[in-house]
Amino acid sequence: MAQITLKGNPFETVGTLPAKSSEAPFFCLVKTDLSEAGPADFAGKRLVLNIFPSLDTPVCAASVRRFNQEVSALDGTVVLCISADLPFAHSRFCETEGLKNVVSLSVFRSPEFGINYGVTIANGPLKGLLSRAIVIIDADGIVRYTEQVPEIVEEPDYSAALKALKAIV
């Protein structure tokens, strides 16, 4: 389990993020059109998994906007914005914000995602939602970078994530 905080109050996740250099766990998540997407849909691409509790919070929304802006110029890279929000909320948010460089995915049919990636919040007021984390996967499906954001109301370390992403050949 990873210990994280919400405004200084501690709580835990169900496990830990996948180990660097390990094969990324399989996932099958729901896109905004209610179709499903998994690793095969992004074959040959570097993936940035931007995982967060809900688009309806300022920090989560900021991370989606930031990765939309920062990664759009990087060839061969896809940003997957993953939360327990329903696909309709993901669609509404991206349309309202004019975001076209990210793929929004919901875990509402796939609770095993949070367990396999160690990001389901196990206790506290956000129990059942996903913690804020970044996982970068190379084109071969190997985990190359992870960050479990320790304080849920803080943004991830964009500079470190982008540096790690750019280092993947």
| CATH number for 159 | 3.40.30.10
Say how far apart CA 70 and CA 101 lie, in whole Å. 9
Active site residue 28: no
Q: Within a domain: residue 67?
A: yes
How is residue 168 written in tokens? 């993947």
How is residue 159 written in tokens? 């500079």
Per the structure, the complete domain to which residue 117 belongs is given by 9-36+46-167
Q: Within a domain: residue 20?
A: yes
Q: Within a domain: residue 116?
A: yes
How is residue 13 written in tokens? 């996740």
Domain total in the chain: 1
Q: Within a domain: residue 50?
A: yes
Q: Within a domain: residue 107?
A: yes
> Can you say whether the dihedral through the CA atoms of 68, 100, 138, 50 is positive or negative?
positive
Per residue of the chain (169 residues), what is the pLDDT tens digit? 889 988 989 999 999 999 999 999 999 999 999 999 999 999 999 999 999 998 777 776 777 777 777 777 788 999 898 999 999 988 888 778 776 777 899 999 999 999 999 999 999 999 999 999 999 999 999 999 999 999 989 889 988 998 999 898 6
Choosing from 28, 60, 81, 94, the catalytic residue is 60
Say how far apart CA 118 and CA 130 lie, in whole Å. 9
Q: Within a domain: residue 2?
A: no
Q: Within a domain: residue 66?
A: yes
Residue 124 amino acid letter: G
**Helices of type H across 56-131:** 58-71, 87-97, 112-116
Predicted local distance difference test score (pLDDT) of residue 61: 74
